[in-house]
Amino acid sequence: MNAAERRAHLQGRLSAIGEKLAFGSGIEELMDDLGQAMSGSASLHMLGGGNPAAIPAVQAIWREEMQALLHQPGAFDRMLVNYDSPRGNPRFLTALAARFRHEFNWPIGPENVAVTNSSQLAHFMLFNLIGGPAADGLPRKILLPLVPEYIGYADQGLTPDLFAARRPLITMLDDHTFKYHVDFHQLAIGKDVAGICVSRPTNPTGNVVSDTELLGLKALATEHRIPLIIDNAYGAPFPNILFTDVAPYWDEDVIFTLSLSKLGLPGARTGIVIAAEPWIDALASMNAVLSLANGNVGQALVAPLLESGRIMQVSRDIIRPFYQAKRDQALAWTREYFDASLPYAIHECEGALFLWLWCRGLPIGCREFYERLKRRRVLVVPGSYFFYGLEAPWPHAHECIRINYSQPEPVVREGLRIIGEEMRRAYAS
């Protein structure tokens, strides 16, 4: 059966939720391209996924920690054989809480921490715990204070129209660099808003919401007695793929999420939530229903680094400089290969793994641009996927693409050269 026939085979046999989750999404297309690229042709220029780079010095640390588990009596077997609590491994929870108390003076203990089987799953659980129809039947939405926002959220609502999104303000920093800002003038919080969510730094753009903006969002959340969810998958203190100096923020009105993926452990599928105890209790109950318990491997490998504080040094001295050098090189190649006379701009890259390319007035739209690049063995992500939840269409959403610069230099360099070439062709068409 082809894809259309497989879909037709299930049509009319699924629940509304089944049809929503089973019939394709932007994140599925992205991950399918990623999986094929990472296991397929060496000639494919994979600039589309969110896969972190394999940093040799970091990979060596994971080998060291695995060897330590193998040589410590019973440790390796416990990691593979035992179920942990639905909250997570007690040693890991205690180590993480202690590290944040030490580094940032956050008043948290292990009771404020839960582990999930990926940060992606953590947000699915949080969004559906908070959003959707309330007991009185009224809809409850998650407010995204500025889009574009992470593609992986878009289809996570078990009910339609879970997200309400707002356009950002756009500031041009020079002819070919711009930045998004939260537009607080359009952030009225209605009774249907159940929570606010922002990623920091943001996937796809590399934007870092400023401390002032973050405190403004927090004030709105506190005023309306709703949580502010901060997705910190790329941020401080780990993996610290940040190129501007901002500190992580938490209080009892904030739900703060982290991931071990961008530390170099995407295969371990380990997400972390820091929140007030009632939220952690709720997540533990959901974990028990959905997964029984969480994966142990990521927790076992990282707990010693949290206890010693080495995780801070690794993030600060290895991971951040590695990606900052890659960002700087990628930006240099864009200046080399993108015609300066063309009306393009790149979002100021303040963190994460991506360049966000805005082709102003792009005649062919980002989806066709994506297809043209794919035919030339370059994979990116069309920007339109990241603009969900808006009340009205916005042409800007069809003028952008996301480019991952974390892959090996020959792949990124040639990919950017081809993007520049196709950009010139697009504007000439």
Residue 279: pLDDT over 70:
yes
Over the chain, what is the mean pLDDT? 92
Q: In this structure, what DSSP letter does residue 168 have?
A: P
Q: Hey, which residues does 346 pair with through a beta bridge?
A: 177, 357
Averaged over 304-320, what is the pLDDT? 97
Q: What is the pLDDT of residues 69-96, one digit of tens each?
A: 999 998 888 888 888 899 999 999 999 9
Tell me the whole-structure pTM to 2 decimals. 0.92
Q: CA-CA distance, 216 to 214, in Å (whole number)?
A: 5
Q: What is the DSSP string of 261-287?
A: GGGT-GGG--EEEE--HHHHHHHHHHH
Confidence of residue 229 (pLDDT cuts 50, 70, 90): very high
Instruction: Round to whole Å and give the CA distance between 345 and 361.
Output: 11
Mean pLDDT of 298-324: 97
Phi, psi values for residue 370, rounded to 5° = -60, -45
Angle at 355 (CA atoms; ends 30, 415), nearest 5 degrees:
70
Asked whether the beta carbons of 143 and 193 are under 8 A apart, the reply is yes
* Upstream peptide bond of 363 is cis (omega within 30 degrees of 0): no
DSSP label of 316: I
Q: Which of 400, 365, 405 is nearest to 386 (CA)?
A: 400
pLDDT band at 31, cuts 50/70/90?
Answer: low
- Mean pLDDT computed over 248-274: 96
On whether the CB atoms of residues 131 and 157 are closer than 8 A, the answer is yes
Domains of the chain: 3-54+314-428 (3.90.1150.10), 84-313 (3.40.640.10)
CA nearest to 262, candidates 254, 252, 272 = 272
Q: Is 225 exposed, middle or buried (0-12, 13-18, 19+ CB in 10 A)?
A: exposed
Beta pairing partners, 376:
none
pLDDT at residue 6, as a whole number: 72
- Which neighbouring-strand residues pair with 357? 346, 401
